[in-house]
Structure 1
Amino acid sequence: MTMLDVDGISLYYNVKGEGTPIVFIHPPLLTSANFKYQIDELSEKFKVITFDIRGHGRSSYSVQPITYPLIVEDIKRLLDHLKITKAFLCGYSTGGSIGLEFLLTFPNRSIGGIIISGMSEVGNWNLKRRIFLARSILKAGAVRFLASVITWGNSDTQETFRELLKEGLKGDARNIEQYYHYSLHYNCTNLLTMIELPILLVYGTEDKSFHGYANLLHKKLPYSELKFLPNEKHQLPTKAAKELNQLINQFINALCK
């Protein structure tokens, strides 16, 4: 198990493959295990870097509350440790907001971004309600219940479910709740025009509550490309892995010829 010490915090990370580096960022409660198909497939052509956010999966509990700037700084420290000057930032769902924050904070360390089912703010009531509910469940101590629901929703097979659940249950409810909490207040929409880097936006045609976020990002980001995967919902890394990986492969190859 590969760990990086960041100011006393043990940060779990994994690197597989060679070539253009891609850093994958997971949403609350889920872990780097959610990118199992990206690790397996994309590492054949690229350097795939995954990590567990503080208090998630195999990374240790953080006394310092979880915020996006803190996670962004951890990513920078990880890149420094790996001696990587620039990388693509790929964030899934809430992890997409962290990807955007990294691009805004460290544009000189970024080649571009890939946002999967992501957003620049929690703007609609449906998503706010889901986040409030998740926080309430965590505060009630029903971590296993929440983990089962979320990992089941992100699983394409029973084997994947068992793997994601096992890793998700290793996290600390306090840090997971902080991640959810910060997402409610984060908003970088008005700063999106400052990101002068290429961005790939990928959403499912059936993830209708996120189409507003997709169109907003595409409108605001100066150099963005928007793709919709037919008949797919929100959980693209696991449930539409082949199609998603193909888009990522094409996007990076076109930029890094």
Structure 2
Amino acid sequence: MDIDLYYQEKGNKDKTPLILLHGNGEDGSYFKNQIDYFSDKYRVIALDTRGHGKSPRGTEPFTIEQFSCDLYDFMVRLDISNAVILGFSDGANIAMKFAMRYPDKVRALILNGGNLNPKGVKRTTQIPIEIGYRIARWFSSKSPDARKNAEMLGLMVNEPDIEPNELASIIVPTLVICGSKDMIKESHTKEIAENIPNAKLSIIKGNHFIANKQHATFNNAVEEFLQTIF
């Protein structure tokens, strides 16, 4: 691994690790209402993905696939044999890739607001992203900020690329959770849940950012799910 990922940690190291993966352009602090809440029962670790927050960009590709490899290297570095992975938005996409690539490293999955491909995003949200991406790419050769912005937006324009039938390889307990007014199409979220064996689906009143905006309801749903496992 060419970089060391920045992370926040809270909770007893003897407890089951709960790794939190934030969304595009964010950092681990997005989960402030989960870090405290779950730290009494779990070893909570909130990562900053490559090129996000306090984690360096490094030289490797800026892709969901690479982020999943980064997570593997991070867990090896911290000697974490397996963990519960909770991913939001791009973090959920990383979590899906990770679970398919490294099944032995995952005890359970919580997928919040993830998508299999850009078509899963509502057009009212996706069109401005695509326009912003084209503009950023145009200026990327002249501006480091534009180049960074183009990379970030490119994750949402060009990725992820997961086929529904690939999800059948995810055999750990899985909770698929989203907001009732999420920017991800509800039909798309349901497709994810239907293609992961025995996955549970929870739709909470709210938008894409339910873990932050409706954290009490979100945390209760996650806790109820985890209580069926541990």
Q: Same fold (TM over 0.5)?
A: yes
Note if contact 1:10-1:59 (Cα within 8 Å) is conserved in structure 2. Answer: yes
Note if contact 1:22-1:88 (Cα within 8 Å) is conserved in structure 2. Answer: yes
1:55–1:87 distance in 2 versus 1, CA, 3 Å: same
How many percent of aligned residue pairs carry the same amino acid?
Answer: 26
Q: TM-score of the superposition, structure 1-length normalised?
A: 0.78
Task: Compute the displacement of 1:33 (Å).
Answer: 1.0
Count of matched residue positions in the alignment of Structure 1 and Structure 2: 221
1:174–1:23 distance in 2 versus 1, CA, 3 Å: farther
Q: Aligned to 2:51, what secondary structure does the other structure show?
A: coil
1:55–1:212 distance in 2 versus 1, CA, 3 Å: same
Taking the aligned partners of 1:108 and 1:10, their CA distance within structure 2 comes to 22
Note if contact 1:65-1:175 (Cα within 8 Å) is conserved in structure 2. Answer: no
1:197–1:176 distance in 2 versus 1, CA, 3 Å: farther
Note if contact 2:114-2:184 (Cα within 8 Å) is conserved in structure 1. Answer: no
Question: Match for 2:153: what amino acid?
Answer: Y
Taking the aligned partners of 1:34 and 1:92, their CA distance within structure 2 comes to 10
Q: Aligned to 2:87, what secondary structure does the other structure show?
A: strand
Range with bigger deviation, 181-190 or 31-40? 181-190
1:16 aligns with 2:14: no
Taking the aligned partners of 1:100 and 1:247, their CA distance within structure 2 comes to 20
Q: Look up the match of 2:227.
A: 253
Q: Aligned to 2:118, what secondary structure does the other structure show?
A: coil
Note if contact 2:210-2:218 (Cα within 8 Å) is conserved in structure 1. Answer: yes
Q: Aligned to 2:60, what secondary structure does the other structure show?
A: coil
Describe how 1:75-114 pairs up with structure 2 within 5 A. 75-114=71-110
- Higher relative contact order, structure no. (Cα contacts within 8 Å, ≥ 6 residues apart): 1
1:56 aligns with 2:31: no
Taking the aligned partners of 2:183 and 2:151, their CA distance within structure 1 comes to 27
1:193 aligns with 2:203: no
Task: Compute the displacement of 1:133 (Å).
Answer: 3.4
Task: Compute the displacement of 1:139 (Å).
Answer: 4.5
Q: Look up the match of 1:26.
A: 22
Question: Match for 1:11: what amino acid?
Answer: L
Q: Aligned to 1:255, what secondary structure does the other structure show?
A: coil
Q: Look up the match of 2:215.
A: 241
Q: Aligned to 2:5, what secondary structure does the other structure show?
A: strand
User: What's the C-alpha RMSD, in Å, of the aligned pairs?
Assistant: 2.3
Taking the aligned partners of 1:45 and 1:175, their CA distance within structure 2 comes to 37
Question: Match for 1:14: what amino acid?
Answer: Q
Question: Match for 2:10: what amino acid?
Answer: K
1:203–1:175 distance in 2 versus 1, CA, 3 Å: same
Note if contact 1:205-1:229 (Cα within 8 Å) is conserved in structure 2. Answer: yes
Task: Compute the displacement of 1:116 (Å).
Answer: 0.8
Instruction: Identify unmatched segments of 5+ residues in structure 1.
Output: 1-5, 142-171
Q: Look up the match of 2:127.
A: 129
- Following TM superposition, the consecutive aligned residue runs of length 4 or more in structure 1 with deviations greater than 6 angstroms are none
